[in-house]
Amino acid sequence: MDKVASVLKNAGPNGDKVLDYTHFSVSFNKDARLPFFSAVNMYGKTNLLGMVHDERGSDSWYADERIITGENTLQYGNADYLHSGLAKGHLVRYYDPAWGTAEEQKIAIGDTFHYTNCCPQIPYFNGIVWNYLEDYCAARNIFQDNKITLFSGPIFNKAQYINGLLVPMNFWKILVFENAGNLKALGFLMSQEPYLDNLKTQKGPLLEILKTVKPTLTRAAIERLFQKKELLAAQIKISLIEEKTGLRFGLNDADDYKGKSQYAARTINKPLNRVLKFEEFRQQMDTFEWGTFLRGL
């Protein structure tokens, strides 16, 4: 236990640990064995892999050895997912941090396949619905905004155990970018709860579902994906994501949400007042206010 305590130093009130990878970081909760949230810096001009990528086969996932001690891995692994019927849903998608030198891209992609960077997701939600949002963010990064900081995470208030895994029902993303010198942000919240029946009736492997997904992105994909009913319904005020997660992003003034919300804007002590430089990201992580993330469990 002493070793676990030393590995998880600088943890928040719920035992979370910030794990740094290549171009992204994950705040991880050892009690839930799942991530609280992730944040990735995306650089579109040097991310050709994100624009044209091959159809995926089977993936190899890895435990993060920094939070392994003896038989206690503090994270779900292959044995947990193997017969669960659930997909390993990336928070930071495999191509999002794939920029920089060829070696950096290779390492970054590999880093996204740590179990600390995924949550259990219903295959249809993972391969279709969540994928729409992932592709939208990638297309904006490559063809429009160039530099993006993307936050992603689960919401635990409706999480339930399915086949031995703690499964969050709702997931969010916050896309932060610069437009004409001004900081802008968009928030999205998606639920996989409507697809629970799909999990029970699903036949065939996940790869069959993914055959309908076209991996190559174009500039036209930005508007095409944004008009998907799943994305139109998912865009919400960032203050609502703050309300549900306990995180404070300091982005209410930058929020580009055009609709109405019953949630009032929140103030914080240390606002994120501009797009972060890549080397500053890790320091900025420490300015968040930590709330109670596991409400309702």
> What CATH number is associated with residue 59?
3.40.570.10
The whole-number mean pLDDT for each consecutive block of 10 residues of the chain, a chain of 297 residues, reads: 32 62 94 94 76 59 85 86 94 92 91 97 93 92 89 95 96 94 94 87 51 65 86 93 92 81 33 39 42 29
Instruction: Give residue 259's pLDDT.
Output: 61
Closest by CA position to 295, among listed 183, 85, 155: 155
- Tokens 């008009």 belong to 227
Q: Is 100 domain-assigned?
A: yes
The count of other CB atoms within 10 Å of the CB of residue 21 is: 20
Q: Is 292 domain-assigned?
A: no
pTM score of the predicted model? 0.80
Instruction: Give residue 255's pLDDT.
Output: 94
Q: Is 293 domain-assigned?
A: no
3 state DSSP class of 255: strand
Number of structural domains the chain divides into:
1
Q: Is 139 domain-assigned?
A: yes
Instruction: Give residue 78's pLDDT.
Output: 93
Residue 10, annotated ligand binder?
no
Residue 166, beta-bridge partner list: 161
Residues annotated as catalytic are 90
Q: Is 291 domain-assigned?
A: no
Q: Which domain holds residue 272?
A: 2-285
Q: Is 28 domain-assigned?
A: yes
23 φψ region: left (φ > 0), alpha (ψ -120 to 50), beta (else): left
111 CB burial (10 A radius; 0-12, 13-18, 19+): buried
The count of other CB atoms within 10 Å of the CB of residue 134 is: 23
Q: Is 297 domain-assigned?
A: no
Q: Is 182 domain-assigned?
A: yes
